[in-house]
Amino acid sequence: MRVTSRLLGRIRGGVHPPGNKDFSADAAIRELAAPSTIIIPMHQHIGAPCTPRVKKGDEVYVGTVIGDSDSYVSAPVHSSVSGVVIQVAPQAHPTGGEVLAVLIDNDGEYLGDPSLAVPGPWEDMEADEIRQGVRDAGMVGLGGAAFPTHVKLSPPREHPIDTVILNGAECEPFLTSDYRLMLEQPEAVLEGLRIIMRAAGAARGIVAIEDNKPQALKVMAMANRGGGIEVTPVATRYPQGAEKVLIASLLGREVPSGGLPMHVGVVVNNAGTAHAIARYFSTGMPLVERVVTVTGSVVREPSNLMVRIGTSFSAAIEACGWFTEPPGKVLMGGPMMGLAQYTLDVPVIKGTSGILALSRGETEYSIPSEPVCIRCGRCVDACPMGLIPTYLASYAYSEKWDAAARLNIEDCFECGCCTYSCPTKNPLVQLIKTGKKELARRKKRLESQASKVAASGREGEGGNG
């Protein structure tokens, strides 16, 4: 058994919201039967959306590639059932708006695609081959951010990776999907970490688990065979599981403003992602399902479900006995970073770690129509990135984009600690998100203008020649 006895992971800022894990922590993962129609969006990750590779009437199998992209920052999507494509059309998406999706009539047979093969063994594969396998399998971060995993595992030569941190903190209240995976399948989670370490070329692996999960710490430590891997308790404080926070609290390394974990020699992956990678290398089955915690005060039977990607939220909630009373709000994810849903006819995607339903009483509070700041400084104390949320929100509200950029608004990873701690209920993170989006839009526009100017310059040069 290898477990670090010293408690690490004291973090800058952060908050301590009620954990509310008891709703579902003891519920063993159970398989959810897929509904008769599956909706698989072509955009389920950070980066370029996929282009459909199937059309109406095509037969598909479990694991058939139904969408892919030539862009590097992207990941293919696969069918999670066998059956026939009935439509390729825009559909409601849990992150908002509509996204092109492939609708499949599920034949209930769950036949695997004949082209699938077990790769490896990974121990004999080169790092490049493992990364290609991870891409082919459509792996993205399953903690919610959904960043394509093969990109994370491909640092440039000048940024070698020495440590992989496996994020088992699951600091977001209510969610227990990683906790259950670590309890029920610790060997697969650790196997996934070993595969990631090999792909990243790292000698050291750290499994970080908040100290409010002693059972998971014990089980993971018992299953650990060493080989450079430590299982480490970290202090329970939100947002301990954010990658920059984990790196600082475990290794004392500060990711520079605008930088990535690779810039300080680290890759961070989620426990669920490691489990999915191990499963792919042992079965050849790409990412077609994931564990989803369906929970909250108004869910009749809070559960941890293994759900096929493309299953509707309503089917997942139905499998948990539906609601005990009409919910005030349903979120994808937890209460701190989750996204409110306006319909339950949206599909579970790769980034759906949880479906949370809260009562009307829990969600009825008034938000001021414009920010009211009493200069208490609580949001500043709570920000784990050392930002000044009150100024960032105020600049976003008054559209002072340059001022917001100067205060590093782009370093905000939208944890919500500032909003949570604000006594006047200012919608700080919501305003900051709007500001980030606007700055990203302006940056893109400037880049496109610059490339047009460069192209017309080249045409001019060609004409003179």
Which residues contact ligand SF4 by CB under 6 A?
373-379, 382-383, 385, 387, 389-390, 392, 412-418, 421-424, 426, 428-429, 432
Q: How far is the CB of 413 from ligand SF4 (least distance, A)?
A: 5
Those residues with Cβ within 8 angstroms of residue 190's Cβ, 6 or more apart along the chain or in another chain: 207, 220, 223, 224, 225, 229, 274
Residue 212 identity (one-letter amino acid): N
> Nearer Cβ to ligand SF4, position 110 or 413?
413
Closer residue to ligand SF4 (CB): 320 or 383: 383
- For 3, which DSSP code? B
- The residue (of 88 and 382) whose beta carbon lies closer to ligand SF4 is 382
Least separation in angstroms between residue 418's CB and ligand SF4 is 3
Sheet holding 65-68, edge to edge: 51-52, 65-68, 77-78
Q: Which is nearer to ligand SF4, 209 or 385 (CB)?
A: 385
Nearer to ligand SF4, 99 or 245 (CB): 245
Our CB check for ligand SF4 shows the closer of 46 and 100 to be 46
Provide, rounded to whole angstroms, the least separation between the CB of residue 400 and ligand SF4: 16
- What CA–CA distance (Å, rounded) separates 225 from 1? 7
Question: Shortest gap between Cβ of 76 and ligand SF4 (angstroms)?
Answer: 31
Total residue count of the chain as it appears in this document: 465
Cβ at position 170, least distance to ligand SF4 in Å: 18
- Minimum Å gap between C-beta 412 and ligand SF4 is 3
Distance, CA of 226 to CA of 309 (rounded, Å): 33
CA distances to 15, 177, 179 from 218, in Å: 26, 17, 12
- In the complex, least distance from residue 328 CB atom to ligand SF4, rounded to whole angstroms: 23
Are the CB atoms for 112 and 61 separated by under 8 Å? yes
* Amino acid, res. 459: E
Query: Could you say which DSSP state residue 409 is in?
Result: G
Distance (Å, whole) CA 183 – CA 170 = 13
By C-beta, is 103 or 169 nearer to ligand SF4?
Answer: 169
Q: Exposed, middle or buried: residue 149 (CB in 10 Å: 0-12, 13-18, 19+)?
A: buried
Whether the CB-CB separation of 250 and 165 falls below 8 Å is answered with yes
SS3 293: strand
Q: What residues does 8 pair with on adjacent strands?
A: 234
Q: For the purposes of burial, counting CB atoms within 10 Å of the CB of 315, is it exposed (0-12), middle (13-18) or buried (19 or more)?
A: buried
CB of 236 to ligand SF4, least distance (A): 18
Q: 195 or 336: whose CB is closer to ligand SF4? A: 336
The amino acid that residue 392 corresponds to is L
Q: Rounded distance, CA 305 to CA 293, Å?
A: 6
Q: Which residues are within 8 A (CB) of 168 and not within 5 positions of it... i.e. 6 or more apart? A: 178, 179, 182, 189, 207, 208, 209, 213, 216, 220, 271
CB of 261 to ligand SF4, least distance (A): 16
Nearer to ligand SF4, 41 or 239 (CB): 239
Q: How far is the CB of 13 from ligand SF4 (least distance, A)?
A: 7
What Å distances lie between residue 225 and 181, 187, 192, 205, 233, CA to CA? 18, 9, 13, 12, 17
Q: How far is the CB of 292 from ligand SF4 (least distance, A)?
A: 24
SS3 of residue 41 by DSSP? strand
CB of 415 to ligand SF4, least distance (A): 4
Please, which residue, 244 or 279, has the CB nearer to ligand SF4?
Answer: 244
Q: Tell me if 362 sits within 8 A of 23, measured CB to CB.
A: no
Nearer to ligand SF4, 327 or 333 (CB): 333
189 vs 428 by CB, closer to ligand SF4: 428
Q: Rounded to 10 degrees, what is the CA torsion of 226, 8, 429, 363?
A: 90
Strand-pair partners of 133 = none
Provide φ and ψ at 288, rounded to 5°.
-120, -5
